[in-house]
Amino acid sequence: MEQQNKSTMVVFSGDLDKAMASFIIATGAAAMGKQVTMFFTFWGLNILRKEEYVKVEKSFMDKMFAKMLPRGPEKLGISKMNMGGLGAKFMKSTMKKKNIVTLKELIEMAQDLDVKMVACTMSMDVMGITKEELIDGLDYAGVASYLADADESKINLFI
Amino acid sequence: MNSTQVLDTKGLSCPMPIVKTKKAMDTLNSGDILEILATDKGAVNDLAAWSKSSGHELLDHKEEDGVFKFWIKKG
């Protein structure tokens, strides 16, 4: 009865609104019985960062980079009208009032629904992000692993 | 209609109604009927699509005082 078709998604953006759209589609697809793979690359990795500071040995450049990038779902800006974070604050308070599920809850739900979340190791190198700084339960891989999953998918998105 | 279980998703927005429906449906047996209450305006189309692609049967749905009610039979 249940078709084992897959859905894959490249999450390139680290914007709050785009991240929410990604996770809504991912959890929705999982609820429809699909095997979902989300491949996080470049700015998308920021969504998976732990909120707290994790002490790891890094080069000066990597430290600077890490400092400038948002740590986790609560710190992301929105893709339009962010106004230095004010727009994101406004959007979050509006969503709370309207009882819209938060990005953090969506991520937990995705993990609960066995959505496969893969962090791109090349992007991690570029941005100087280590495994210790990312949330638990992730896979670590590169383009071949993503393409293999995409090959078997009926839906493939780049966000 | 004789429902096996009632699921209340009132006040929840997309994608929660279908995620909760999926979870509730997982606990039921084939032939059981799940009754779902929702206020999300997209739920009518969403639950119809969800039932279709998940292999379940949407038996009926109606609106009562702004609350949508659905009866889905597990496939």
Mean pLDDT of B42-67: 94
Judged by CB atoms closer than 8 Å, whether chains meet at B16 and A101 is answered as: yes
pLDDT on residue A3? 43
Residues A78-87 pLDDT 10s: 999 999 999 9
All residues of chain B having their beta carbon less than 8 Å from the beta carbon of residue A1 are 55, 75
Across A52-76, b (16+ Cβ under 10 Å) vs e yields eeeeeeeeeebeeebeebbbbbebb
- The residue annotated as part of the active site, out of B6, B8, B10, B14, is B14
Percent with pLDDT over 90 in chain A: 88
Domain B5-73, what fold? Translation Initiation Factor IF3 (3.30.110)
Residues A131-142 pLDDT 10s: 999 999 999 999
The mean of the pLDDT values for chain A is 93
Residue with the two structure tokens 């889905």: B72
Token output for A37: 């793979």
Q: What are the structural domain ranges in chain A?
A: 6-12+42-158
Residue B14 annotated among the catalytic residues of the structure: yes
Mean pLDDT of B31-48: 95
Give the span between the Cα atoms of A32 and A88, in whole angstroms.
30
pLDDT on residue A4? 58
All residues of chain A having their beta carbon less than 8 Å from the beta carbon of residue B16 are 101
Domain A6-12+42-158, what fold? Hypothetical Protein Ychn; Chain: A, (3.40.1260)
Give the span between the Cα atoms of A110 and A105, in whole angstroms.
9
pLDDT level of residue A67 (50, 70, 90 thresholds): confident
pLDDT on residue A1? 38
pLDDT on residue A96? 93
Q: Considering only residues 66 to 95 of chain A, which have any Cβ-Cβ distance to chain B shorter than 8 Å?
A: none
